[in-house]
Structure 1
């Protein structure tokens, strides 16, 4: 997949992963791996950016004697997903144009 296109979709994949339950970095990577490949070095800047934009919140939980940072989807993040899905028909129109359907 084109790097620029992938970059634009990664944030929404992370948000979608958190839609059903809170999760932590490694689990997010595992959950998204069958759809889109993401590495630690790519994921953590995305998580920071989403947190700064108040689309996710983080909290820590002790696991095996260590703190594990979990992420939670906020209402702002839920709205971002809804907005993305609402704009998807426009994306498909561009796809159809490129494909030669239109």
Structure 2
């Protein structure tokens, strides 16, 4: 993707991906799902997950899978509120950009 992915957009994508599973999801799966939308490395994603956890948008728990600990991330109520704000902003933003492209005959 040639567009710069700002932190707010990345936060919105991560919150949307995590919100898909009511029981939460683990880091590697989040990375794979986010990569369907944007090119991102795990070294970029994990600081975002930690920050969203620190901001109380995500809660974290560990679960043993095949004898190994797997860290799960689950969206909180505060995270859902933030995600809804991002959705509203995205609709407005994308409509404005689409209008500009339309006017430019793109």
- Which consecutive residues of structure 1, in runs of 5 or more, have no partner in the other structure? none
SS in 2 for 1:54: coil
Question: What are the Cα deviations for residues 2-24 of structure 1, in whole angstroms up to 9, with x where unaligned?
Answer: 33x34431111110011121111
Partner in structure 2 of residue 2 of structure 1: 3
Does residue 1:20 correspond to 2:20, yes or no? yes
Question: What are the Cα deviations for residues 29-81 of structure 1, in whole angstroms up to 9, with x where unaligned?
Answer: 11122211221100110001000110000000001211110000001111111
Q: After alignment, is 28-37 or 89-98 more displaced?
A: 89-98
Q: Using a 3 Å threshold, how does the CA distance of structure 1 residues 80 and 57 change in structure 2: closer, same or farther?
A: same
Partner in structure 1 of residue 90 of structure 2: 88
Tell me the distance in 1 between the aligned counterparts of 2:10 and 2:45: 8
Does residue 1:59 correspond to 2:86, yes or no? no
Of 34, 37, 43, the match for 1:35: 37
Normalising by the residue count of structure 2, what TM-score does the alignment of the two structures yield? Answer: 0.81
| 1:74-85 → structure 2 map (5 Å cutoff) | 74-85=76-87
- Which consecutive residues of structure 2, in runs of 5 or more, have no partner in the other structure? none
Tell me the distance in 1 between the aligned counterparts of 2:90 and 2:29: 27
Normalising by the residue count of structure 1, what TM-score does the alignment of the two structures yield? Answer: 0.84
